[in-house]
Structure 1
Amino acid sequence: MARKFTPKIVTANDLIEGDVVYLTADDRWSRLHEEAELIEDEAHAQLRLLFAQAQPDRVVGPYLADALPGPNGPEPVHFREAFRTRGPSNYPHGKQEARHV
């Protein structure tokens, strides 16, 4: 019996700045998890990943991450992805400063 597909988002790191970025439905890279395209079809998820992998001049390490629909957009499922939304933890600026995490 096939396992049910868990919705995904495409995430990577910005090539120049290193920030975590998320692929949006309109083909932009956003630093906001809630702007990520929530992909609910496995074949479409693979196509979006291939699209991301074809941009080595913009991002590094793209991969599919599990996500769930939320009231403001996709929400991370795993601790690692929730942690990545907060940005680097070794200094109090950037995403952590802005969100008061």
Structure 2
Amino acid sequence: MDKLIPDPPADAIRVEDLTKDREAIKRAVDFYFTPQPAQAHHPGTMFLVNPSIDPETLLAHAYESLACASAMASNFANELSGLQRSTALAIQQIVMLAELAVNRALDRVDPQA
């Protein structure tokens, strides 16, 4: 029985395979090594701070929030004992350190000297 369609020459198959390989290699290199353009960051609007508020007001609010958190952690630690008390006091100390940092930044924004 005779074939209606002849077999393609071996060189044509090899060139076609090489072309496919090159395309696959190019896609892989582009995927792993070509940096993607940076996406613009769009902050969520659920808890959005007004961008027109001055830094001094923001720092004062942060200081008050940290002071409240420190007091809550201290009161909570008084109700605990052992390792849990130590953990609550460590959290309170970290909050106090953040409070000191915010206070220092607030002093630099509005020096009281």
Identify whether the pair has TM-score above 0.5, normalized to the shorter chain.
no
Name which one, 1 or 2, has greater alpha-carbon Rg. 2
| TM-score calculated relative to the size of structure 2 | 0.20
Higher strand proportion, which one?
1
| TM-score calculated relative to the size of structure 1 | 0.21
Greater RCO, 1 or 2 (C-alpha within 8 Å, sep 6+): 1
Higher helix proportion, which one?
2
